[in-house]
Amino acid sequence: MLSPEHEELKSNNIPPRAIREALINAVAHRNYTISADVKILIYPDRFEIKTPAGSCPV
């Protein structure tokens, strides 16, 4: 569920299911060996999710 200050994402025709999937993927597939946050950037026409860079150890 989006907080009231981020309701503009709904008006940009971004399906809530797509937002949810992107957030889950960002957390599930990030590199946990790097001490950095997942960043969510919200713009008037899109949103971006940035995860810590680097390849995950095998």
Structural domain of 21: 4-50
Domain assignment present for 58: no
pTM of the model: 0.61
Residue 56 lies in a domain: no
Query: Is residue 38 in some structural domain?
Result: yes
So what's the pLDDT on residue 38?
Answer: 87
Residue 42 confidence (pLDDT): 85
Write out the two tokens for 45. Answer: 């026409």
Establish if 9 belongs to a structural domain.
Answer: yes
What are the DSSP calls for the chain, one per residue?
---GGGTHHHHTT--HHHHHHHHHHHHHTS-TTS----EEEE-SS-EEEE---SPPP-
Domain count for the chain, please give it.
1
Mean pLDDT by 10 residues, the chain (58 residues): 56 80 87 86 85 60
